[in-house]
Every structure is written in C-alpha cells, then in structure tokens.
Structure 1
Amino acid sequence: MARKKYTEVEKDLMKGIAKNLRMILTRKGLSQKELAEGTELSTSVISDYLNEKTLATPGSIQKIADFLKVSKSEIDPTFKSNSDQLYTFNKIPLVGTICAGEGLLAEQNIEDYVYYPFPNKKQPDFALRVKGDSMIGAGIESGDIVYIKAANWAEYNGQIVAALINDCEEGMLKRIKWTEGSAAMQLIPENDKYEIKELHPSEFKICGIYMGHFKPVEE
C-alpha cells in the first residue's frame, strides 16, 4: 500500500514528534520495543513515528503519553501545554480545487486536512488547491494550497480573493481592485496571459480572502 503524501507542514510536525519521542525514550532508558509493548502499538508503527515516516494520530499519542507518563504536549507540539487539548484550529479542512485561471471551484466537500503553522495568529476557515497559472506573479502556482478566510467582501482594495462569477461555481483566485466613482470592479490576474475581468458587484460574489499558501511536498 502506498504511503500517504504529506505536506511540508505535516513533515515538520512528524520531525518534531520523532525528535521529542527519541529524547523521552533516551531520558527514560526505554527501547522502541518496550514502547511498542507498553502501548500495544506495533513495532513497525513506532518505528515509522521515530523515523519520520508516518504522522502519529491523536489516539496513538494518547497511548504513548499514558505509557511514558508525560503530557501529550511533550510529544506533539500542536497540543496546548496547559490543558492537553488539541489545537483544533490548527487543522484546516481542504475543501477542493479553485481554478486560478478559467475553471471551476470544486464542490465544498472536505478532501483532507492541512496544518496551519501559526497557532497564535488568526486561523483560516478552509484551504483550497490551486489549479492553473493565473497567479504566478504572486508566487501562487498550480498545485499550491492556499489558506482562505471565509468572507463575502475584501478587507482592502487590491486584496487577493476567491471569487465566484454569476453563481455558476466558476471559481477564481484573483486580486480585486476598484476605483472611486466607478460601479465596476476588476478581478486582476498575476499573469499577462489572462485578461482582467471588469464586473459589477451583482455579477460575482466573494467566498473568501487569501491568507497565504504553501507548496505541498509529495513523497
């Protein structure tokens, strides 16, 4: 069976968990085999966690923490140290694909979850996978994952937004601009191959605003 493909953020989390586990095992003088036996997890699962091949599940982390008699936050940095509750806002639903060109916004079904690496900052509401090259001038390429805050309008002139045109689920990631005194809005690509779209507010709607992006790494 093929291994799950992890994002860069998830790989960083795997590395942190593996490092923490190795330090705790060394401190307590325990082996991988003893950890497996004490948690009733297989030796292969423990090996994968320690060798940064698999992202530990919350259930496994609970078993490991109980056996090692440590807090979950000592193993997984996405747990709050003061209450041992998961940062539920740290896992962002990936709900589909938005075309940064001339295509469709996928149905709003959760495909997976991605991590947002800034727990102390305002959290995105969902993430979208980019398809197309209309925003390459902003460093956003096809296949990138963009973090989106749900909103029905831009916070400032020139902001990058996810927009739906004519209620036809024709999703676009574009920069929105307007001019005082003009009723038309501009949805502007960051690639000269694409045309600027001039639309009235009644002809499109904004479903979210851009909060950053990353390039997933495939194994």
Structure 2
Amino acid sequence: MDKLHDKVAANIGAVLRQLKERNNVTIHQIAEAVNVTDGAVAKYLSGERKPNKQVIKRLAEFFHVDQKVFAGTDDDIINIALEQYTSAVNQLNALKESIAEAPLNKVQEYINQLKEASNEVDKAKEALHSLLQSSKPVTYVPVYANKIPAGYPNEVGTDDICDWYVVPSEIPADFAVNVTGDSMINAGIDDGDIVFATINTTADYGDIIIAVSENGEVTIKYFIQKDNQYFLMPANPDYKPIPFTNDFRIVGIVTGILKEPRPYRDSR
C-alpha cells in the first residue's frame, strides 16, 4: 500500500525537476516561493516526500502551471520534457543561423555556445527518450468525500465527486473515498487517508469493504461472518461490530491506501 504513495511522490518529483530545469530556478528560490525549507524541496524533487495540497497550489502559482500537472501522470511529465527538448533544439538552430554573421573576434565564443547548446539538446533528448521508454499507463479515478449517493460509484454524477486522482494502472482501482474517523486504525487506515477500491457488490470473508447505508453514508470495515450472520467489523476495539443488514450494500473492495503526512505530536 506504500507503493501507491511512492509512485505519486516519484511522479510529482519528476514533474517538479522538469519545471525547475525549464525555468532555471534554484531549490532555495522554490522554497521561498512556497514557504517551505530547502530540505523539503529537495525531498519533493527526489520523490522522497509528497507535497501537500497547499504546497502543490503554491508550486503551480510559482511555475504558472495548472495544479493538475502535479497529479504526476506520465503524459504530463513527457509533455514537459518534450517542451524542454523543443526549446533546446530551437535555441541551437538560432545559434547556427547567427554564427554566419558573427564577427571574427566572436566566432570562438559562438562555437562555445554551440557546443553548450548541443549538449543541452543531447541531455533533453536523453531525458525524453528515457521517459518514453519507462512510461506506464495510468488511470484517473474519482474521489468521493464521505458520502456516495444512491447508485454505485460509476453511476453517480460528477457533482458528487470532490477530486480526481491518478493511480498507476498496476494498482486496481475504480474509485476512491476520503477516510474520516479512526475505526480502522489497526488495519493501517487513518483519518485523512484516501482509500482506493474496485467496484464490487459482493465480498469474501476478511475483505476490507466499502459499504453504503440507505442514506448514503459510507463506512469502511472488514467483512466478517459469525454464527451465520454477517458483520461490518472495525479494526479498533473502541468500536462495536455492525450487523450487515438490508440497510447496507457493498459498493467496493479496498485495494490501496494513500497515506497523508501526520503532524508531529509531543509524547512527553
């Protein structure tokens, strides 16, 4: 389940590296613009840390791009790399055209500039080629808040969706739900996380399911059977099992979790 978080962070890091190079800015300049430390930006660039939504908003404003760029799809990264390659080629061609008119005392300077521009083209070409070779298909999945109205996730309108997320295609997911509450903390699902799920109307014993009540309230629980009765079982001893009756319907089985960073708490 950490695989999803790592993939998202890595893709955002790749986008940010391309934007940094294209705009010729330093780590410190980015850090000042988005009000974080230089170390935090370095971790964003390396893919070690995923920036939160507020930081992503500031990054988008700083680089004058749409926030969706930081969803981190392979297409977004490739498009940025393609722009960088095209820009490098155009700069090289412009230098080639101007060298014919260069005064003799400037020829060596132009030759040096041509070599540098040619190196930039080679680097941009290599980066683009590498991305094209390694790119993998991704899936956009809708994220619901804490309610899924009548109908299954693929039947509701876009007004019921609070966000969209990009998921690597190797992770099965049809929709996602924002987690509220702590009833599944011992299953590694915390308040503020996003859980991804495939659409299912049935489940096997022990599956973590997403069930919806008659009024559209969503609950995430283990699906358990005891004494010929099915229950929605929490992963927190502070909560009691909920009998699975006709008031509930299964809409999905959890396949992944995207963890949100936790604030520091002093344990002293």
> TM tier, shorter chain?
0.5 to 0.7
Q: Which residue of 2 is the match for residue 157 of structure 1?
A: 205
Match runs of 1:1-219 below 5 Å: 9-19=7-17, 32=23, 52=45, 53-54=59-60, 57=69, 62=79, 64-66=81-83, 68-69=85-86, 74=128, 81=133, 87-89=137-139, 91-97=140-146, 105-107=147-149, 109-116=160-167, 118-119=168-169, 121-154=170-203, 156-165=204-213, 167-179=214-226, 182=228, 184-200=229-245, 202-217=246-261
CA–CA separation in structure 2 for the residues paired with 1:213 and 1:63: 28
Query: Is the CA contact 2:212–2:250 (under 8 Å) kept in the aligned structure 1?
Result: yes
Partner SS state of residue 179, structure 2: strand
- Aligned residue number for residue 101 of structure 1: none
Q: Looking at both structures, which has the greater relative contact order when contacts are Cα pairs under 8 Å and sequence separation is at least 6?
A: 1
Q: Distance in 1 between matches of 2:256 and 2:201?
A: 18
Alpha-carbon distance in structure 2 between the residues aligned to 1:32 and 1:203? 55
- Which of the two has greater helix per residue? 2
Deviations 1:129-158 (A, max 9, x none): 10001001101111011011111111x211
1:160/1:142 CA distance change after superposition, 3 Å: same
Structure 1: stretches of 5+ with no match in the other structure: 1-6, 26-30, 34-43, 98-104
For the aligned residues, what is the CA RMSD?
Answer: 4.1
Aligned-pair identity in percent equals 22
Tell me the secondary structure at the aligned position of residue 14 of structure 2.
helix
Does the CA contact (< 8 Å) of 1:164 and 1:206 recur in 2?
yes
Return the TM-score normalized by structure 2.
Answer: 0.52
Question: Using the alignment, how far apart are the partners of 1:32 and 1:75 within structure 2?
Answer: 21
**Deviations for 1:141-200, whole angstroms, at most 9, x for unmatched residues?**
11011011111111x2111101123x2212210101124x72x21110011111111233
Q: Helix, strand or coil for the counterpart of 1:131?
A: coil
Q: Secondary structure at the match of 2:240?
A: coil
Separation (CA, whole Å) in 2 of partners of 1:149 and 1:21: 34
Q: Aligned partners of 1:122, 1:88: CA distance in 2, in Å?
A: 9
Structure 2 CA distance, aligned partners of 1:136 and 1:14? 27
**Structure 2 stretches of 5 or more lacking a match?**
25-29, 35-41, 46-58, 61-66, 70-74, 87-123, 150-155, 263-268
* 1:128 maps to amino acid: V
Letter in 1 for 2:231: Q
Distance 1:206 1:139 in 2: 21
What amino acid maps onto 2:163 in structure 1?
A: D
Give the count of matched residue pairs: 177
The 8 Å contact of residues 9 and 115 in structure 1, kept in 2 or not, is answered as no
Matched residue of 2:249: which SS?
strand
What letter is aligned with 2:10? D
- For the 8 Å contact 2:205–2:225, the answer to whether it is kept is yes
Amino acid of the structure 2 residue aligned with 1:146 = V
Note if contact 1:134-1:191 (Cα within 8 Å) is conserved in structure 2: yes
**Closer/same/farther in 2, CA of residues 129 and 175 from structure 1, 3 Å limit:** same
